[in-house]
Amino acid sequence: MTATTPDITTHIRCLAADGHPHSLTTLRHQLAAYPRHLVDAALRTLASQDDVQLRSQEDQKRLTEDDRRAALMLGGTPRHLLHIT
């Protein structure tokens, strides 16, 4: 069975449902079974929802190379953190 964007969106919501910001680096590791382009599509779908924020890491010095690679580009800005309220 092939995963779909709605399946991955649901999986992301389950992983990040605690109301705290989650690193995309960590989430991508947890979602490693899915192709990146499908995870990106799910994140973009979530970003359009009222209870979801995709933010950049404010302190850019804290970012690792893994964080930079895991970022999702939205509006020309790399986003590193997912927060579902």
Please state whether the predicted TM-score (pTM) of the whole model is above 0.85.
yes
* Domain residue spans of the chain: 5-84
- Cβ neighbors of 34 (< 8 A, separation 6 or more) are 3, 8, 11
Query: pLDDT tens per residue, the chain (85 residues)?
Result: 578 889 999 999 999 999 999 999 999 999 999 999 999 999 999 999 999 999 999 999 999 999 999 999 999 999 999 999 9
Give yes or no for a contact between 20 and 53, defined as CB atoms under 8 angstroms apart: no
Answer whether 52's CB lies under 8 Å from 83's CB: yes
